[in-house]
Structure 1
Amino acid sequence: MTSAGEGPRTLAVDCGGTGLKATVLSADGTPLHKRARLRTPYPCPPEVLVDAVTSLADATGEAFDRVSVGFPGMVRLGVVHATPHYVTEAGPFTPPRADLVAAWSGYDIQAALEDALGRPTRVLNDAEIAGLAVIESKGFEVVLTLGTGLGCALFDDGVLLPKVELSQAPFRKGQTYDQQLGHHARRRLGNRRWSRRVVKAVDGLRPVLNWDRLYVGGGGAKHIKLELGDDVTTVGNENGLLGGIRLWNDRVSRGRRIEEI
């Protein structure tokens, strides 16, 4: 495992609606190998996702001491309260199944993964982990991730604030942010038309959230063709993994250390 003089190695896993990624990071956050990838399996009850993450861990071929997992949905204290994709029959934006909704609601994904992987494990919303990699801990910082849908994370002077599931809020034409800004919409519209929607979303959220700095990341960020404003920074998609290191730092969130999340 960890050699003398080295810090802990972290298995960082990014669970997405269409794909799963994993890498092992050194103590300073350096990836130790090329990312391992799998398509997200559907239908995806909890045990299927746990098996997929275990397979990813094996595919890295690297030893690790602890695990950080980004999960798409609302997670509190390692327990799933809602997830938009894994409850569907065949993947994002397909009909949900009642049995999958019931299976995921209240599921302790953190405990299940810790048991399967045999290492201390922490699970947080995927956008929040991406945010941990990029924030400067100065003022009110907001992170939006553009991928299968829209992820959102809020930080006040580096303190992670309670999760807001912005993705499910109505945005335009009777559809949610997920439906209007996710990769399905981008592929249908083309990058430029889709970029106009992103600008509209940012401009609409600016007076609501009044951030000091907005970070826009995720796999869709590289496809944005228009300027978003001087208060916006575009960041790389790799942060969904790299934030896994800072998840283990001695930070405070709403009066609790990050490790208590």
Structure 2
Amino acid sequence: MNVLDTAPDARVGIDVGGTWIKGALVNLETGAPAGEVLHLPTPAGGTVEAVADTLERLVGELGAPGTAAGVAIPSIVQQGVAWSAANMDHSWVGLDVQAHLGARLGLPVSVVNDADAAGIAEARYGAGKGRGGVVLVLTLGTGIGSALIVDGTLVPNFELGHLEVAGYKAESVASAVVREREGLGWDEYAERLQQYLSHVEFLFSPDLIIVGGGISACSNEYLPRLSLRTPVVPAVLQNAAGVVGAALQSAASRVGPLSLAV
């Protein structure tokens, strides 16, 4: 049974980033935010309590009291506990974030890795909708986030941005921020992305690769320059994917294991 068959129609989704914390009430039938996606600045330093204060404010502004919330964070997440902290304070590491935020917000809270949130949103509502097999979602931004979905089931914390390619960590040479910082033209950037994606394709043989992150808006500049056996398509949900995926994860966590089958 699809988990969404027994889930409420809407959940709060929150995406905690290094610069902005975004949130919305998400319609789980359509995968669309039910209203505006609100943005609040991420507190400097990204400490647990400062972020929790911002989440309280955000939930209040969304006007959805009592609604369960999903929170996507830039961390490896196992059973609600954070085991890394990208662009956040080290105090997150080892914390039961799910329990802590649940207590602070007074709501049922489900916590998920931010790339996993974007991945499950694209698989359920976006470019991967209706696709079986192995779907790989990559977000090109400050680093490279990744999510792997196999026949509708998420493989959590799939950190492919840390793969080594030609002696370098992949996200240190092929992220969107690196392209901007080094002033790379699209040909040169596509060459780096080609090398990375060819390596990923060889290791995992995906049936579909979805490229997201802010750079997906410019996909016509670099995707036509790639040559892979696997189809590579731009993400559909773009910057709302983390918010939508967090809400979806919240619904799934209340009724059973996450399945993305339509």
Question: Same fold, TM exceeding 0.5?
Answer: yes
> Mind listing any 5+ residue stretches in structure 2 that lack a counterpart?
1-6, 124-129
In structure 2, the residue matched to 1:240 is 242
- Among 160, 165, 170, the residue aligned to 2:159: 165
Give me the whole-angstrom Cα distance separating, in 2, the residues matched to 1:222 and 1:25. Answer: 22
In structure 1, the residue matched to 2:8 is 7
Give me the whole-angstrom Cα distance separating, in 1, the residues matched to 2:139 and 2:102. Answer: 26
**Are 2:8 and 2:251, in contact at CA under 8 Å, matched by a contact in 1?**
no
1:158 is matched by which residue type in structure 2?
G
Provide closer, same or farther for how the CA distance between residues 243 and 215 of structure 1 changes in structure 2, counting only shifts above 3 A: same
- Among 111, 117, 120, the residue aligned to 1:123: 111
RMSD over equivalenced CA pairs, Å: 2.5
In structure 2, the residue matched to 1:179 is 172
1:258 is matched by which residue type in structure 2?
L
**Are 2:15 and 2:21, in contact at CA under 8 Å, matched by a contact in 1?**
yes
- Among 82, 85, 88, the residue aligned to 2:84: 82
In structure 2, the residue matched to 1:258 is 258
**Are 1:17 and 1:148, in contact at CA under 8 Å, matched by a contact in 2?**
no
Q: Return the offset for 1:246.
A: 3.0
Note the 1:13-24 alignment, pairs <5 A. Answer: 13-24=14-25
In structure 1, the residue matched to 2:4 is none
3-state SS, counterpart of residue 83 of structure 2:
strand
Provide closer, same or farther for how the CA distance between residues 134 and 194 of structure 1 changes in structure 2, counting only shifts above 3 A: same
Give me the whole-angstrom Cα distance separating, in 2, the residues matched to 1:79 and 1:186. Answer: 33
Could you list the per-position Cα deviations for residues 84-128 of structure 1 after superposition, in whole angstroms to 9, with x for gaps in the alignment? 2114xxxxxxxxxxxx3xx22211111111112211111111111
2:24 is matched by which residue type in structure 1?
T
Provide closer, same or farther for how the CA distance between residues 199 and 41 of structure 1 changes in structure 2, counting only shifts above 3 A: farther
1:129 is matched by which residue type in structure 2?
A
Note the 1:69-218 alignment, pairs <5 A. Answer: 69-87=71-89, 100=90, 103-135=91-123, 136=130, 138-172=132-166, 175-188=168-181, 189-190=183-184, 192=186, 193-218=188-213
Give me the whole-angstrom Cα distance separating, in 1, the residues matched to 2:179 and 2:42. Answer: 20
**Identity value in percent:** 28
More helix by share: 2
Q: Return the offset for 1:17.
A: 2.3
Provide closer, same or farther for how the CA distance between residues 64 and 221 of structure 1 changes in structure 2, counting only shifts above 3 A: farther
Give me the whole-angstrom Cα distance separating, in 1, the residues matched to 2:25 and 2:116. Answer: 19
Could you list the per-position Cα deviations for residues 213-245 of structure 1 after superposition, in whole angstroms to 9, with x for gaps in the alignment? 111112222233122455112113122222234
Aligned residues: 235
1:186 is matched by which residue type in structure 2?
R
Give me the whole-angstrom Cα distance separating, in 2, the residues matched to 1:191 and 1:144. Answer: 21
TM-score by length of 1: 0.80
Higher relative contact order (CA 8 A, sep 6+): 2
Give me the whole-angstrom Cα distance separating, in 2, the residues matched to 1:186 and 1:49. Answer: 29
Provide closer, same or farther for how the CA distance between residues 183 and 61 of structure 1 changes in structure 2, counting only shifts above 3 A: farther
**Are 1:137 and 1:156, in contact at CA under 8 Å, matched by a contact in 2?**
no
